[in-house]
Amino acid sequence: MNTFQNLIVWQKSHELVLKIYEATKNFPKEEIYGITNQIRRASYSIPANIVEGRKKKTQKHKISFLSHSEGSLEEVKYFLILSKDLQYISNEIFLQLFNCAEEIGKLISGYEKFLKQNNKPNPL
């Protein structure tokens, strides 16, 4: 069955969400409504918008939701930089998560390009 869970871009995005949640478990308590909340919300917005956009009827709407995913991804990247600079995460964790985010950005761009070039509803 062809579901959103078969999309590599969704799989990688979901993995990033899980890694972000793990990395933020030990953030300072005073950040629970600050950076912890913000980076988590931005991270799960990425796969959520991919899922929602996948079911839209027009390519224009599908691409619009991918654009929202890209915006959330950029937000995550910023919060990763901030987390590293505040020494909430190690440089090693930062690089792992940032590289994962970069890969997702390429996958989103590729999916967007696919949608623009094809009238097919979804890739396999």
In a domain, residue 123? The reply is: no
Q: pLDDT, tens digit, for every residue of 43-59? A: 999 999 999 988 888 88
Can you list the pairs that 107-116 forms with residues at least 24 positions away whose Cβ atoms lie under 8 Å? 107/8, 107/9, 107/12, 108/9, 108/50, 108/66, 108/69, 108/70, 108/73, 109/70, 110/9, 111/7, 111/9, 111/50, 111/66, 112/63, 112/66, 112/67, 115/59, 115/62, 115/63, 115/66, 116/59, 116/63
Residue 70 in any domain: the answer is yes
Q: Which domain holds residue 109?
A: 4-117
Asked if the structure places residue 89 within a domain, the reply is yes
Q: How many domains does the chain have?
A: 1
Q: pLDDT tens-digit profile of 82-124?
A: 999 999 999 999 999 999 999 999 999 999 998 888 765 555 4
Residue 122 lies in a domain: no
Q: What is the CATH number of the domain that holds 16?
A: 1.20.1440.60
Task: Give domain status of residue 84, yes or no.
Answer: yes
